[in-house]
Amino acid sequence: MNRQRLLKSTLITIGIISLIALFTIFNLPSSNPSLTKPDNSSLSNSNMGKIVHIVMFEFNEGVSAEVVDDTCSRLLALKDQCIHPTTNKPYVTAGMGGKENSPEDLSGGLTHIFVLEFESLEDEMYYLKKDPAHLAFVKTLDGLLKKAQVVDFTPGVFQP
C-alpha cells in the first residue's frame, strides 16, 4: 500500500513538473488552442540558469477557508516582498498559484500549488536560507500543513 502511495505521489510530481515545464519552456499561449508546434525560440540561453520553484501544500483538516486563503495570498505576496540584498529590488521574477484541479486524480492529497521563478540558483538560495520575508512566512506555516512538497527545475535542462 505504501509503495502504491509513493508511486502515485511520484507520478503526480512528474506530471505537474511536466506540465509546468511545457508552459514555461515553450511559452504556450493558453488563448490559442490551434497551436500545434511550440515556439522553440524560447529555448535560448536566456532560460539557462533560471530556477522554477514549485511548492505544493495539503492543509490540515480543520484549517478554516479564511486561513487557507490568507496563507496562499501571503505566499504569493512574497514575489513583491522579497527584496534582493544588493539591488534592493524584488528578485522573485514570477509567481502564481491556485487550488489543484486536475481531473487525473493524481494529486496525492496536495491541494494548493504555487510556482515561483528565480533568475539564478543564488537568488533561490538567498530566498530559502536568508530572505527575512520568506523565513517569517515559513514560521507561520507551523500547524497548518499536513503535507508540503517542493520541487525545482531549470527550464530546458534534462541532464545533470
For 2, which DSSP code? H
pTM, full prediction: 0.72
The model's pLDDT over 91-144, given as tens digits with 9 standing for 90+, comes to 999 999 999 999 999 999 999 999 999 999 999 999 999 999 999 999 999 999
Nearest to 116 by CA among 97, 137, 135: 97
The model's pLDDT over 22-41, given as tens digits with 9 standing for 90+, comes to 444 444 344 433 333 334 33
Count CB-CB contacts under 10 A for residue 120. Answer: 14
**16: enclosing H helix or E strand:** helix 2-26
Beta bridge partners of residue 52, listed in sequence order: 117, 153
CATH 3.30.70.100 fits 2-29+46-153, yes or no: yes
Q: Which residues of 147-160 are buried (b: 16+ CB within 10 A; e: fewer)?
A: eebeeebebbeeee
The model's pLDDT over 43-81, given as tens digits with 9 standing for 90+, comes to 334 566 899 999 999 999 999 999 999 999 999 999 999
